[in-house]
Structure 1
Amino acid sequence: MKGKPSSSKEEDPKPDSIDRLPDCLLVQILSLLPFKEAIRSCILSKQWRYRWTSLCNVAFDFPGSRLPDRVDSIDTILTGLGDSIVKRFSVCIEYDKWHASDVNRWVQFAVEKKHVEEFTLELKCGIYNSIVCYTRYQLPQYIYWSSSLTKLRLVWCNVRPWPRCTISWDLLKSLTIGRTRLGNNLLRMILSGCPKLEYLELFSCWGFKKLESPDSLRKLVIGEFFFYEHEDDLSDLGCMLDVSAPNIKSLDISGEWNRKFRVTKAPEGLVDATLTFEINRYCEHYNQRPLLEILTSLRKVKNLTIGPWCIQVLTLVEAEGTTTLGDSTCTSLVLISEIKDFDLLGIQSLLRSSPDLETLVLNMAPSMYPEFGDPWQVEAACKFSKEKYWNPENIPKCLTKHLKTIKIYGYSGEHNQFHYVRFLLQYAIVLERMVLSNVDPSGEYNSSHDYDECAMLQRSSDSSMHSIQKRWRSETFTFST
């Protein structure tokens, strides 16, 4: 007996509804995925086999892989891209000097063939070679006059244009350079070749003692000046880095430093400043005055973030009673501190110098920074903090005048933290809102404290419109006070 012939509908299954979408929309959906996942879409069906070749963002992110293990796969993918338009190109991998020609080929593909707008090259050289850079990748010369680049990130790369060569990055707006040597003349050449530069980030760089930003620069990020390559660079240790950036709106100085620095021309229009750096003990005895000079030059900043090391330096300054910070116009202050005894006077100094403060954010998550100063200085400052800090006569004006919002993250309920929160609630008489969370800004939970004890926190104000929000893991508690 003959079976019934199958219908055409049974032979040809209906296409998925997603396949009916316009190609441009499908490519847009793919572009939202990591590049590796977008390529895997080729196995979905014949219609999807080559759709990934239309992506304009190409990213080879293999931070834990050796370059020789990825050469063939990267070459295959680049061949598959053909004549497609590529706007963003990124390679992050562990470098091998024997494969410099392969990297040259990829750089040429991105910069000379595709004329990408955004280019990232991070070629880690291993633990040893990340400090001694004899085996770093040498950038090809044509990259220095690319007219299409608007965003460039170079990490673990030797930036060395030929003598008498000019750098022409006429459209470049964002530049990040990390873990390499930059001399004074080279840095000056780079910045003079970027007439439209708005964002500059330098981290783990060395070899220069002066940084003069172009007039177009709006944000400057400097981090982790703790490396050197040759014995000649040892002269940088303990030396002053002069930073001149008169037109920036945002300044961020972070990481571990082995040298002093100063802002020689204070930016008049600076809005945001972040100081989360730590100067190594090698030049500790030089650090108090430069920090005070920096804070004085930033007194017109509206939004200020201060890290634990800077707070502890200010504690020693307060304990010695040699000088005080002048008043600033800061209205939003972020303090990164576990609220140790050694932090109290530094915090008080910052609050006292901010009479117009409206918003206070405390990140109480544990810090990796060691305590600043000699043990006897720490002990003396802690004792002085306990005796002086809780005195009602020393209450900063901002607590009674303008402070309306307090946000606390990484709260663990530790003794000092609990008493400090209670102190704020007692004297911040115009406070309208407090957020108390045991989750730090990175999303990590701090050791959870008994919530019943946190509920004991009370306000001194009679207003019933004020509230405290206590966020414990996934729960948010709100109380009228």
Structure 2
Amino acid sequence: MDEDRLSELPDSLILSILSLLATREVVRTTILSKRWKNRWTTVPCLHFRLPFSRGLWVESSKFVSGALAQWKGANILDFTLFLSADNRLIPSTDIDSWLLFAIEKQVEKLTFGFAAKLHGAFFLPQSLYSCSSITKLSLHNCSFKIERNVQWNNLKSLKLVTWDGSRLLSGDAMNQILVGAPRLRKLILRSFEFTENFNFRSNSLLILQIIECNLKAEAELRIWAPNLSSLVISGLVCGGCLLYVPSLITATLSFKDLSGEFGEIDREDMPPLEMFHQVFRSIRHVEYVSLEYWSIQFLVEMKENDMLVQFPNAEFLKLEFYSYRVTDILAVLGMFPKLEMLIVRQYDYMYESVASEMASLSPSLLHLETVEIYIHDEEFSISPLVEYVLENADVLEEMVLQPYRGRDDQESFILDLKKLLGMRRSSPYAKVIVNEK
């Protein structure tokens, strides 16, 4: 029982385990034995998360400074400094010194930022822009003022996040970053507000995610990335959008009101339909497509205005929407002639359509093998979409229906299931599974 099996592990394994813990927890291992007294000082990963409490801030600040003063490692592989405290309590000189320590130790992965809205801006130290050792960088609620050339020669992944849509990043700063990061593969921007033109021009970029961002009417978003394979654009788009993405494989387009209330966007405030038509034409060669909210509406309007876009290579389609007519959804399905997998997330009822309207559309479902329909509305019913797919998908193998759990009327639910069992199925191998959540 007195055997110290933990200490018998190889040093490399012990360091790997300790690298996953918060530095405060790692330091506490000094009480285990004399052999562990200084082991923490060589752990190559340092993770500090400072609390919001005013009373704990001073103690936490002293702990960070003390831990860095005692650390004896050669280089830092991973450095996390996340501050939940009111930034008016935090001397910027302390923060700069902590970041400078990581930079001098040739940090490879750096996560830094604030978990709360700042009182005023926090500008990153200029020395960070010349830290060529960084391969992965994640910054939260920081402002950018670049006074020298960016030298992120080994940077492969960059994530920039704000909490309140603040304009902390200019189009010029974005250009400087992309020029100074010639090996950048993945770029994520979340919750930014674009009030000027932004050019995402990069030959190395493979993944680009512009999430929950607000593109103002006076701004234009231009993406020139010939090797890009995955693209996500979500948020409110009121300005222009130009894409050159010939190698794109996966695309997610979610044009919506950032307040979260579907339908509150004034259609007249958005760009003309021709702009969205140009966007969809730029991605028509993709294989995996995810469309949400207004993206579906734009495709329907394009069809009605003889601006039809086809996706001849797409094998996967995900649709996420509130209330829609079944005929609108069928019109969208008609744009994907080689579809093999369809996922539908429905947050409200689906309008009924007469048989003649549905028959006039007749989208091809010759390749459809798998369908998943998640119904988040409390009123579960077998929609005409389910019936149409069962009757027309000749090679359908599996349909999974997952209704919202929370209804009191189990009797009507059972009647719907009986109706489902009695529906005609075009494919003799079609299996229908109902998973009630």
TM-score bracket, normalised by the shorter chain, equals: 0.7 to 0.9
Matches within 5 A, 1:242-257: 242-257=222-237
1:190 corresponds to which letter in structure 2? I
Partner Cα separation in structure 2 for residue 53 and residue 446 of structure 1: 52
Partner of 2:139: 154
1:174 aligns with 2:157: yes
Mark the CA change 1:63 to 1:316 in structure 2 (over 3 Å): closer, same or farther.
farther
SS in 2 for 1:20: coil
**Map 1:338-353 → 2, pairs under 5 A:** 338=322, 340=323, 342=324, 344-353=326-335
Q: Could you list the runs of 5+ residues in structure 1 that have no partner in the other structure? A: 1-12, 130-134, 228-235, 368-381, 439-444, 474-481
- Give the TM-score normalised by the residue count of structure 1: 0.76
Distance 1:85 1:452 in 2: 64
- Relative to structure 1, the CA distance from residue 186 to residue 285 in structure 2 (aligned partners, 3 Å threshold; closer, same or farther) is closer
CA distance in 2, matches of 1:435, 1:31: 41
Query: What amino acid sits opposite 1:322 in the alignment?
Result: N
Q: Secondary structure at the match of 2:172?
A: helix
- For residue 228 of structure 2, give the secondary structure of its aligned residue in structure 1: coil
Q: Of Structure 1 and Structure 2, which has the larger fraction of its residues in helix? A: 1
The Cα of 1:140 is off from its aligned counterpart by 1.3
Tell me the amino acid that sits aligned with residue 156 of structure 1: N
Q: For 1:147 and 1:54, how far apart are their aligned partners in 2?
A: 22
Shift of 1:287: 4.9
Residues 327-349 of structure 1 deviation map (CA, whole Å, 9 limit, x = unaligned):
212110011124x2x35444223
Whether 2:308 is the aligned partner of 1:337: answer no
Question: What's the % identity of the aligned pairs?
Answer: 28
- Alignment partners' CA distance in 2, 1:63 and 1:243: 39
Counterparts of residues 234-383 of structure 1 (less than 5 Å): 236-257=216-237, 259-265=238-244, 267-278=245-256, 281=265, 284-316=269-301, 321-328=304-311, 329-338=313-322, 340=323, 342=324, 344-364=326-346
- 3-state SS of the aligned residue for 2:227? coil
The answer to whether the 8 A contact 1:260-1:287 is kept is no
Deviation track 1:55-111 (CA, whole Å, cap 9, x = no partner) reads 322222357556945312322332343335421112222451551111101101111
Report the counterpart of residue 262 of structure 2 in structure 1: none
Deviations 1:293-329 (Å, cap 9, x if unpaired)?
Answer: 21122110000011123223444555xx223422212
RMSD between aligned residues: 3.2
| Residue matched to 2:79 | 89
State whether residues 90 and 120 of structure 1, in contact with CA within 8 Å, keep that contact through their aligned partners in structure 2.
yes
Residue identity opposite 2:271 in structure 1: Y
Paired position in structure 2 for 1:121:
112
When normalised by structure 2's length, the TM-score is 0.83
Letter in 2 for 1:214: S
1:461 aligns with one of 395, 417, 425: 425
**Is 1:31 equivalent to 2:10 in the alignment?**
no
Match of 1:376 in 2: none
- Once residues 448 and 25 of structure 1 are traced to their aligned partners in structure 2, the CA distance between those partners, rounded to angstroms, is 51
SS at match of 1:19: coil
CA deviation after TM superposition for structure 1 residue 42, in Å = 4.5
In the aligned structure 1, how far is the partner of 2:432 from the partner of 2:47? 45
Q: CA 1:62–1:312 in 2, change beyond 3 Å: closer, same or farther?
A: farther
Distance 1:415 1:394, change over 3 A: farther
Alignment of 1:66-85 (within 5 A): 68-69=57-58, 70-83=60-73, 85=75
Any conservation in 1 of the 2:302–2:308 contact (CA below 8 Å)? Answer: no
Q: 1:392 aligns with which of 351, 359, 362?
A: 359
Supply the distance in 2 between the matched residues of 1:299 and 1:178 (Cα, whole angstroms). Answer: 29
1:271 Cα deviation from its structure 2 partner: 0.2
> Matched residue of 2:297: which SS?
helix
2:100 match = 108
Q: Residue 136 of structure 2 contacts residue 155 of structure 2 at CA under 8 Å; is this kept in 1? A: yes
Residues 103 and 290 (structure 1 numbering): CA distance in 2 closer, same or farther, change over 3 Å? same
Q: Which residue of 2 aligns with 1:437?
A: 402
Report the equivalent of 1:452: 414
Partner letter of residue 106 of structure 1? W
Aligned residues: 415
Alignment partner, residue 188 of structure 1: 175
Matched, 1:143 2:135: no
1:371 equivalent in structure 2: none
